[in-house]
Amino acid sequence: MFLVTGGAGYIGSHTVLALQASGHAVVVLDNLSTGHRDLVPEGALFYQGDIADADLVGAIFRRHPVEGVLHFAARSLVGESMGDPGAYFLANTAGTASLLQTMARHGVKRFVLSSTAAVYGEPETVPIDEGHRQQSTNPYGLSKWMIEQMLPWFERVHGLRWAALRYFNAAGADPAGRSGERHDPETHLIPNVLKVALGERSAVTVFGDDYPTPDGTCLRDYVHVADLADAHVLAMQHLDRGGPSGVFNLGNGRGFSVLEVIAAARKVTGQPIPVMMEGRRAGDPAVLVASNERARHVLGWQPRYGDLETIVATAWSFAAAKAGR
């Protein structure tokens, strides 16, 4: 059995589905600060509470035979972190230190962390490999980088084995329609583009068209949430086999511009999707594209839904169903 923190959230709920599909029992811990109780897949046990509540986490470890923890629970709004860094260091870094300490007390020795491409900051070379310098430009990325740096100490002292998965841009929805992205407020590009297609917003705001890229808008590496979920199952299997702890980028290795994403959404939805150009959003690097060689070779990860139109189409099916279309 695995403990999934943040299993009522976007990527966590998809990973619960993938763990269940590979035969694992799951217990979810989530404080529902940004998640939804109804996104927790059927069959998973659910505890509402905080990762830093050592009594509650300890009780879960006493009651259930937890072999490992997949840790998604976090605050993850870059803009918010710029205005309230302390909230991010407390919730993410200190909260995870508490979780790791409780794991150590209860002898739980496997850990998969949701990390982020935001640990790299402005890239010096593209594609970005795991050896790239870490110089996050925001407190959110730094809060995750500090967690990554704690992990080798828990390994050395307590025998923890861990994988830190640095996601690029998570996107799409469960191809079977069981889960999808439901953030409020929604800051991510694809769901916001689809809100325009649904008529919930009048136009997509494009943050900057003067970047040094072919069409002037930012390039990002969009990776399907079901492919991310698969990588978590593979990372746990890798640790099970006695594979070494480590850091892995998760992206498709291809960059798409904001305007290319909007064009794909026009094609998928058949809607015109008007655009409104605005200035740059603070802290956005021009290009973020992953080298995913390590995840492919070491974990045997093979993304199944790398095609941009497929990513957008699965997100569209979920968003349209939610809106009653």
Ligand X SMILES: O=c1ccn([C@@H]2O[C@H](COP(=O)(O)OP(=O)(O)O[C@H]3O[C@H](CO)[C@H](O)[C@H](O)[C@H]3O)[C@@H](O)[C@H]2O)c(=O)[nH]1
Does 314 sit near ligand NAD (CB under 6 A)? no
| Per CB under 6 A, 76 contacts ligand NAD | yes
Q: What angle do CA 102, 104, 109 make, to 5 degrees?
A: 120
* Pairing of the two strands 219-220 and 287-288: parallel
The residues near 251 (Cβ < 8 Å, ≥ 6 apart) are 117, 167, 168, 169, 221, 223, 289, 290, 292
Taking CB within 5 to 8 Å according to partner kind, which of ligand X, ligand NAD, none is near residue 33?
Answer: ligand NAD
Give the list of residues 6+ apart from residue 291 with CB closer than 8 angstroms, or none: 127, 128, 129, 130, 249, 253
Query: Are the C-beta atoms of residues 181 and 315 closer than 8 Å to each other?
Result: yes
Q: For binding to ligand X (CB under 6 A), which residues are involved? A: 76, 78, 116-118, 169, 187-189, 192, 204-207, 218, 220, 258, 281, 284, 288
Nearer to ligand NAD, 171 or 206 (CB): 171
| Range in contact with ligand NAD (rule: CB under 6 A) among 5-13, 17-25, 54-62, 231-239 | 5-13
- Which residues, including other chains, have CB under 8 Å from residue 323's CB and lie 6 or more apart? 198, 200
Site for ligand NAD in 227-286 (CB under 6 A): none
Name the token pair of 217: 């808008």
The verdict on 162 binding ligand NAD (CB under 6 A) reads no
For residue 44, how many C-alpha atoms fall within 13 Å in the half-sphere facing its CB?
31
The verdict on 12 binding ligand NAD (CB under 6 A) reads: yes
70 binds ligand NAD (CB under 6 A): no
Could you say whether residue 169 binds ligand NAD (CB under 6 A)? Answer: yes
Q: Of 76 and 269, which has the nearer Cβ to ligand X?
A: 76
Q: Annotated catalytic, 222? A: no
Write down the catalytic residue from 47, 120, 140, 211: 140
Round the CA-based radius of gyration of the chain to a whole number and report it: 19
Instruction: Choose the contact partner of 35 out of ligand X, ligand NAD, none; CB within 5 to 8 A by kind.
Output: ligand NAD
Q: Which does 259 bind (CB under 5 to 8 A by kind): ligand X, ligand NAD, none?
A: none
Which of ligand X, ligand NAD, none does residue 11 bind (CB under 5 to 8 Å by kind)? ligand NAD
DSSP string, 261-273: HHHHHHHHH----
Of the candidates 188, 194, 239, the residue with the CA atom closest to the CA atom of residue 70 = 239
The nearest distance, CB 289 to ligand X, in angstroms, is: 11
Instruction: Give me the least distance between CB of 303 and ligand NAD, in Å please.
Output: 15
Site for ligand NAD in 109-148 (CB under 6 A): 114, 116
Among 11, 103, 112, 189, binds ligand NAD (CB under 6 A): 11
For residues 79 and 140, give the distance between their C-alpha atoms in angstroms, rounded to a whole number.
9
CA distances from 155 to 10, 136, 166, 320 (A): 29, 24, 19, 45
Residue 254 phi/psi, 5-degree rounding, is -135, 140
Q: Give the H/E segment covering residue 204.
A: strand 204-207
Under rule CB under 6 A, residue 33 binds ligand NAD: yes
Instruction: Figure out which of the listed residues 17, 26, 50, 261 binds ligand NAD, where binding follows CB under 6 A.
Output: 50
- Residues lying near ligand NAD in the complex (CB under 6 A) are found at 5-6, 8-12, 29-35, 50-51, 72-74, 76, 91, 95, 114, 116, 167, 169-170, 183
Residues acting as catalytic residues? 140
